[in-house]
Amino acid sequence: MKKLVFIPGSLRSASASLATVWALTELLGEDVDCAVAEPGCLPHYNADVLNSPEVEAFCDQITSSDGLVFVTPEYNYSIPGVLKNAIDWASRPALQSPFKGKPCFVISVSGGALGGVRAQSHLKYVLNGMLADVYTCPEIVIPNANQKIANGRLSDDAFFSFAMPKLRAFVEALP
């Protein structure tokens, strides 16, 4: 069974990012072992901080997974600070980090009409810089995401019809 770690880019418990993560993990069902990382538990990045149990646990989640699924909102035309902080922690040592060669699938959400496409572009750029293996497919975006949440889950049949075949293909392509 393949193991995916979902990394939401928002701290808010009722965020569209987290609602999307929960909906996707439920749709994948028992076919995939899904875990959800908590980037908000990490300290602010500081190279002077050594042996942080939270950082070690996060890096272990990445290392032990077969692939990562990022679900990020767009903050000020880019990725949220909490997501960048998590990536910065796991990007060490440079060019030998847990991200090196790690298959990554990227989804963006936004309250606006563009669905976070600018954040998605920035995230892919950062992941490429760490030698992660970003899955190639059409951008998967969720515009007007806040209007598509019901009972703490994303509720958007058009999105699921578009995204799930790509997510399943990503899982099938995992080594």
Question: How much is the pLDDT for 51?
Answer: 93
Give me the amino acid identity at 143. Answer: P
Q: Which domain holds residue 83?
A: 2-173
Q: What is the pTM of this model?
A: 0.97
Calculate the average pLDDT of the chain.
96
Average pLDDT over every residue of 153-175: 97
Closest CA to 142 of 104, 105, 110: 110
How far is the C-alpha of 152 from the C-alpha of 154, rounded, in Å? Answer: 7
CATH of the domain at 76: 3.40.50.360
With CA atoms as reference, report the closest residue to 39 among 6, 64, 3.
Answer: 6
Q: How many independent structural domains does the chain possess? A: 1
Distance CA 31, CA 170 (A): 13
Encode pLDDT of 110-161 as tens digits.
Answer: 999 999 999 999 999 999 999 999 999 999 999 999 999 999 999 999 999 9
**29-56 mean pLDDT:** 96
Q: Is the pLDDT of residue 94 over 90?
A: no
